[in-house]
Structure 1
Amino acid sequence: MSEKIRTLVVDDESGVRFFLEETLVKAGYDVSKAASGEEALDRLRDEPYDLMILDLKLGGRVDGLKVLEAVRWRWPEIIVIILTGHGSLESAIAAIRDGVDGYLLKPVEPRQLRQAVKEALERRALLAELPGRKDDSEVLQRGPFSIDLAKHLAMKDDEPLDLTPREFRLLAHLIDNAQRVVEPKELVRVVQGYECDSLHEARQIIKWYVHRLRQKVEPNPSKPRYIINIRGIGYRFGEQ
């Protein structure tokens, strides 16, 4: 690669840290290591990173989930791949909901690690082009909402909305496609950059984002007017 991706490896097992570092350095990445959540946050505050490989089951006061939460709110541009010894569909979905870009179950092979990093980088590059309009200088207008794609600014009734990047993409895509019902798999791809083979998985992932978005844009989230669920199909934007 022409420019090395600055990578932070976070794991409390020295052998795992060594394996991750060795594999990624051989693949051309610039790698730093942290043995705890506290050390990881210190490094993140001191230096910029493009990618982080994070063990969820860290010991100490700051576990992997706390590190992930901090990254998602303070350094959302960092690509995060979760590495854990406890795998299931539910935990994978939970990790994706929390904004991770990849998910690996220990023990992981070098080829799997390299592939996961490659795919996460490709998905992030794709997300940079979303919500997929040719003219990102356009401002979307629907009902009380105004979405400035270039400035990444969402307004409702001329008041700014405090949306995360994924919530912004979800709202923008629904407004941009207000003439149709959008299927869960499409919404997950737009919001998360994650291709779901399972419709059940896609529904579970996007349901969480819809819940969060409704809390911020609906007058009464329990009776939504704007983010409408069409049972068995997907979601559409309502202008009432």
Structure 2
Amino acid sequence: MSDSSNILVVDDEQNIRLTLSALLRRAGHTVTTASSGEEAVSLFNSESFDLMLVDLQMTGINGIQVVEALRARELNTEVIVLTGHGSLESAIEGIHHGIFDYMLKTSDPSQIIDRVAAALADRSRRQRQASLISTIGQAVQELSINAPAAQPADPAPAGGSGSGAAGHDRVVMIGQLQMDTWHQTASLGERLLNLTPTEFRLLLCLAEHSGQMLSYTQLVRCAQGYETSELEAGELIKPHIHHLRQKIEPDPSAPRYLLNVRGKGYILQIDS
């Protein structure tokens, strides 16, 4: 029996959900099911999964859109796409979204279990690599912090870096918040903030426009580099804002720094 993993099965056909759930549970996994793409996306806000098996063609949000929502949240979940009828175009589209495999629903059950095991093994390998890189990065960061300054700072660009920001090409400072864009590090007062790359970019966007409201679409454009509707942008940004508040606010339930403009966007306001 394989090590237990948390797996999400997404399919709008009940018999497929039941069959896959039974198959995976017999293999020793914990299984959650979703009967639609919308239900799956809502689960991303409250649960984390090691692997997702998702139907390609569903009413409403289809399988590729579910994968897009997963990737937008930067969740470390392997993906196997299942379909009743394959096509080269859909397989290529899935590969572009970083799926592990693309299988027909008619695949032999033992083949599905084998591919699930392979996907989970690949995920574990990548996690070990990420952990090693993180450890090395922390060591390099400590060395750079403790090392004496050897070179003069880059000259400040003309015009400054936004309302309330003081510094130069490498450093943005807003009150107690300091962001080093060269090393991709941020600190609040004496406390180093442990931010993901997306959280860092999002906080930098807000810091460079301190005291100004940025809409959901502006934040997605600035932090993630693509255009989307205001409704979708709000859904994409809110989980990142939630995690940022957990890391920078004295009391995340009563934000002092990262303020919400209801239904419109967010403002960063940090006093000296």
Category of TM-score, reference length = shorter chain:
0.5 to 0.7
Tell me the equivalent position of 1:5. Answer: 5
Q: Identity of counterpart residues, as a percentage?
A: 40
User: Is 1:128 equivalent to 2:127 in the alignment?
Assistant: yes
Distance 1:101 1:11 in 2: 18
Tell me by how many angstroms 1:3 deviates.
5.2
Distance 2:9 2:131 in 1: 32
User: Is 1:77 equivalent to 2:101 in the alignment?
Assistant: no
User: Is 1:49 equivalent to 2:49 in the alignment?
Assistant: yes
SS at match of 1:45: coil
| Equivalent residues in 2 for 1:27-176, closer than 5 Å | 27-60=27-60, 62-130=61-129, 137=136, 158=182, 160=184
Closer/same/farther in 2, CA of residues 132 and 35 from structure 1, 3 Å limit: closer
One-letter code of the match for 1:42? S
Closer/same/farther in 2, CA of residues 44 and 122 from structure 1, 3 Å limit: same
- Structure 1 range deviating more: 11-20 or 82-91: 82-91
Deviations 1:33-71 (A, max 9, x none): 1110111122222322221110111112x2212211111
Tell me the equivalent position of 1:179. Answer: none
- For the 8 Å contact 2:79–2:100, the answer to whether it is kept is yes
For the pair shown, which has the larger CA radius of gyration, 1 or 2? 2
One-letter code of the match for 1:65? I
TM-score (norm 2): 0.48
User: Is 1:15 equivalent to 2:39 in the alignment?
Assistant: no
One-letter code of the match for 2:37? G
- For the 8 Å contact 2:3–2:28, the answer to whether it is kept is no
Runs of 4+ displaced beyond 6 Å: 131-135
Question: Unaligned regions of 5+ residues in structure 1, if any?
Answer: 140-155, 165-215, 217-240
Tell me by how many angstroms 1:157 deviates.
7.7
RMSD: 3.5
Deviations 1:11-48 (A, max 9, x none): 01111111111110111111111110111122222322
